[in-house]
Chains A and B, each alone.
Chain A
């Protein structure tokens, strides 16, 4: 009996055979920058600081229009994958998220967590501060071909 109880506790502790649980939402207000998540996570264009802000603005437009998920890079360094903004569920190439590319916003909404990722349903953009991360001063433009040579 003691062994069975111990085994059951051990199994429960490690989550074996636990049924899938729907994530529970949490009301949050997050300040951060709307970013292009693929470049940020994959490192395909360089390290994380260079694929945000003004340096990466044109690429952020391309990626958002191209249907790559956008995220809200919070002041806490966490990335919140944006699934909906103010009723617009077009999270793959939608207009609402496109106009916010690289902008610093204050978002009020519901946070869901699952399998290591944060998912955010933005109910209201409380404040849109525009582009505040002027990192082109440090990194130029990323990728370099984003701004074509005006003389060609």
Chain B
């Protein structure tokens, strides 16, 4: 009986305490609360899974989540592996509804409300596949959507929508000119 209780206690270990770092090849971003994490999950449409809003399930432009196989925890991939302000939805979209393996960094910061099960996904593959894909698709998709913005410099300096807001409201969003905003923040 002692063995049965011990086994049940082991299985019933709080889910948040599970360690998914074994086997991870994630590259550190030197973030305070990052933890390497690789796991199997199903890519899900968040609106559908959380709120039952499934009319446009897996549609382009909707945020996607990772429903972890080991514990049914819903992980929110906020970020892909690129370093220029890119989310993960474009990289996850081809896998929506599929079982995948992912590798990346989990953010678990007890000092920030809500900073739990937040994920930076660096690599993804269909479960059981050999080859990993790097999550670097965002800028390629953006370039295909904005051929008129082709040019030098990072995408975020050339994005037509962002530039329209900066043109209208300034860099601080307060209506200051470029020079005024620059000088007031030095």
Chain A's closest residue to B31 (CB) is: A42
A-facing mask of B96-120, CB < 8 A → 1, else 0? 0000000000010100111111101
Bound CA span A134–B89, Å: 31
Please list 16 pairs of residues, one from A and one from B, whose beta carbons are closer than 8 Å in the complex, sorted by A's number: A11-B12, A44-B29, A58-B173, A61-B165, A66-B84, A68-B85, A83-B47, A89-B56, A91-B62, A92-B62, A93-B89, A117-B74, A121-B47, A131-B173, A136-B185, A147-B172
A-facing mask of B143-183, CB < 8 A → 1, else 0? 00000000000011001011001100001111000110110
Q: Tell me the count of chain B residues lying within 8 A, CB to CB, of chain A.
A: 64
A-facing mask of B29-68, CB < 8 A → 1, else 0? 1011110000000000011001111001001011100000
Residues of A within 8 A of B (CB): 7, 11, 14-16, 20, 22-23, 25, 37-38, 40-44, 48, 54-55, 57-59, 61-63, 65-69, 71, 77-79, 81, 83-84, 89-95, 98-99, 101-102, 110, 112, 114-119, 121, 130-131, 134, 136, 140-141, 146-150
A-B contact count (CB 8 A): 194
Q: Could you tell me if A68 and B79 are in contact, using CB atoms closer than 8 angstroms?
A: yes
- The verdict on B140 contacting chain A, using a C-beta distance below 8 Å, is no
Chain A's closest residue to B76 (CB) is: A117
B127 to chain A, nearest CB (A): 19
Q: Which of B79, B117, B185 contacts A140 (CB 8 A)?
A: B185
User: Contacts A41-B112, A69-B78, A89-B56 hold; do A134 and B85 have CB atoms under 8 A apart?
Assistant: no
- The verdict on B19 contacting chain A, using a C-beta distance below 8 Å, is no
Q: Could you tell me if A48 and B112 are in contact, using CB atoms closer than 8 angstroms?
A: yes
Q: Could you tell me if B86 and A14 are in contact, using CB atoms closer than 8 angstroms?
A: no
